């Protein structure tokens, strides 16, 4: 960063020059799940917190209502990609319905914001956004709504349709300990961009609320407008009251940060070796230690009835019944490991 | 908000070491979910079981 861009933050003698941004993949560059395959939209075909572009999830109460894509459309040459959400129908949004684009951070990574302490600090959210719709859009900071839950709904305004706009919001953390209750690796901070939610999730803007609020009432409901689109990139959340220039991290570092939560190995083969006289076992090591022992899905070659074994945050094994005299290739391939935060 | 939608959830007991895990369909993909209290999917499955929203079939 050039010296002219260094700004004082909370009177620190040495400003935060690097690793300011606690958001991972805020520029929407890393896409292990394949939402950048060239289609204008990939339909979210299930309900729940469906992870799409790395670290970002479409959180939906009904399937096939919105689509997500990583598209090569960005506000300026500093960025290559944005996430594009497309409404696939004029959905009637009931009181308990929800549609949002969400990323969740570990308590580990936002400890320094002072949530749950006697010294909560200011932090600033900044991002680039573009939509076919204009008006006040909902945005919220939330923590996992197992009891206790907390949230802070607020708004930002899109003034012109189909035009990239830069937005900043400065909030102050709060002392309520719900924000750290999930443990160091648990959900400590979720950033929700509201795409249409029902009245069950609406609360007064700009104040903390004991519950799960995603927006104030009266905000734009993207999911209720067929073919409406909303795009975002350059998302940054940092300590202090100043929105600094987006922190572009090296591609390898950003990828590793994403791999803490999700890893996908397409056709790579992890060959099995003989184990005891009657099994063949494949051992898969993760290049990045994951947040937790991950959910696994994978395919196999050779034999049938493979069993997952001894899953940890650095590796797992899979084995199949097979005599040492069986010489056909046995291997695991197309591994996906998921240790995302669920809120 | 239900953050994970499970289908055909069942316990699996692997034959060699006796460890158990959940196998379930999430977003049209069958996943093996380890019994790890830091694994969000496992925690959510247990929450849904406790809330009566999910039944996990016993191991065969």
Residue A15 has pLDDT above 60, yes or no: no
Q: Which residues of A touch B26 (CB under 8 A)?
A: 46, 48, 295
Whether the ipTM is more than 0.85: the answer is yes
Check B40 against A339: CB less than 8 A apart.
yes
pLDDT digits (tens, 9 = 90+) for A62-95: 999 999 999 999 999 999 999 999 999 999 999 9
Q: Tokens standing for A328?
A: 């056909």
Provide the 8-state DSSP code for B59.
Answer: P
From the list B4, B16, B47, which residue is nearest A279 (CB)?
B16
Within 13 Å of residue A180, how many CA atoms lie on the same side as its CB? Answer: 18
What tokens were used for A82? 């944005």
Mean pLDDT of all residues in A151-178: 97
For residue A190, which of A31, A340, A294 has the smallest C-alpha distance? A340
Cβ-proximal residues to A248 (8 Å cutoff; 6+ apart), any chain:
A27, A78
Q: Which two tokens stand for residue B31?
A: 């996943």
Closest CA to A230 of A103, A94, A44, A68: A68
pLDDT at site A343: 77
How much is the pLDDT for A99?
Answer: 98
Edge-to-edge strand ranges of the sheet holding B29-34? A307-309, A315-321, A279-285, A262-275, A331-338, A295-301, B29-34, B20-26, B6-13
DSSP A144: -
Least confident window among A4-18, A145-159, A240-254: A4-18
β-sheet with A98-106: strand ranges across: A48-51, A57-60, A98-106, A187-197, A135-143, A150-158
Give the Cβ contact number of residue A6 at 10 Å. Answer: 13
In whole angstroms, give the CA distance from residue A125 to residue A103. Answer: 13
CA angle A127–A130–A132, rounded 5-degree value: 155
Chain B residue numbers touching A260 (CB-CB < 8 A):
none
Phi then psi dihedrals of residue A203, to 5 deg: -145, 170
Phi, psi angles (nearest 5°) of residue B48: -70, -35
The alpha carbon of residue A267 is apart from the nearest alpha carbon of chain B, in Å, by 17
Q: Is residue B46's pLDDT more than 50?
A: yes
**Residue contact B19–A310, C-beta within 8 A:** yes
Distance CA A294, CA B36 (A): 9
Using a CB-CB distance cutoff of 8 angstroms, which residues of chain A are in contact with residue B34?
293-296, 308, 311
pLDDT digits 0-9 by tens, A180-231: 988 888 888 899 999 999 999 999 999 999 999 999 999 999 999 999 999 9
């Amino acid at each position: 960063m050039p010296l002219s861009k260094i700004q004082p933050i909370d009177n620190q003698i040495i400003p935060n020059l690097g690793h300011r941004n606690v958001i991972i993949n805020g520029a929407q560059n890393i896409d292990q799940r394949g939402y950048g395959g060239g289609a204008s939209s990939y339909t979210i075909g299930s309900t729940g917190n469906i992870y799409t572009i790395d670290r970002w999830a479409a959180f939906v109460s009904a399937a096939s209502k919105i689509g997500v894509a990583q598209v090569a459309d960005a506000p300026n040459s500093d960025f290559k990609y944005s996430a594009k959400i497309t409404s696939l129908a004029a959905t009637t949004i009931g009181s308990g319905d929800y549609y949002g684009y969400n990323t969740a951070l570990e308590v580990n990574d936002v400890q320094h914001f002072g949530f749950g302490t006697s010294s909560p600090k200011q932090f600033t959210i900044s991002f680039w956004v573009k939509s076919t719709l204009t008006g006040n859009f909902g945005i919220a900071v939330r923590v996992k709504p197992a009891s206790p839950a907390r949230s802070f709904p607020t708004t930002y305004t899109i003034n012109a349709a189909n035009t990239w706009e830069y937005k900043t919001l400065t909030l102050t953390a709060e002392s309520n300990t719900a924000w750290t209750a999930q443990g160091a690796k648990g959900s400590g901070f979720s950033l929700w961009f509201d795409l249409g939610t029902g009245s069950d999730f609406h609360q007064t803007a700009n104040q903390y609320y004991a519950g799960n609020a995603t927006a104030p009432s009266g905000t734009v409901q993207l999911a209720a407008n067929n073919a409406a689109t909303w795009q975002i990139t350059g998302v940054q959340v940092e300590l202090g009251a100043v929105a600094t220039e987006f922190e572009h991290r090296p591609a390898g570092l950003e990828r590793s940060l994403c791999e803490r939560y999700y890893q996908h190995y397409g056709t790579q083969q992890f060959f099995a070796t003989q184990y005891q006289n009657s099994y063949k076992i494949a051992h898969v090591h993760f290049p990045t230690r994951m947040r937790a022992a991950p959910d696994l899905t994978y395919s196999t070659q050779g034999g049938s009835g493979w069993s997952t074994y001894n899953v940890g945050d650095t590796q797992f094994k899979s084995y199949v019944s097979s005599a040492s005299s069986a010489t056909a290739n046995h291997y695991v391939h197309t591994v996906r490991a998921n240790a995302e935060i669920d809120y | 908000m239900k953050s994970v939608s499970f289908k055909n959830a069942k316990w699996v007991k692997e034959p060699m070491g006796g460890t158990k895990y959940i196998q379930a369909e999430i977003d049209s993909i069958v996943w093996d979910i380890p019994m790890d209290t830091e694994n969000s999917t496992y925690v959510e499955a247990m929450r849904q079981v406790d809330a009566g929203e999910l039944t996990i079939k016993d191991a065969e």
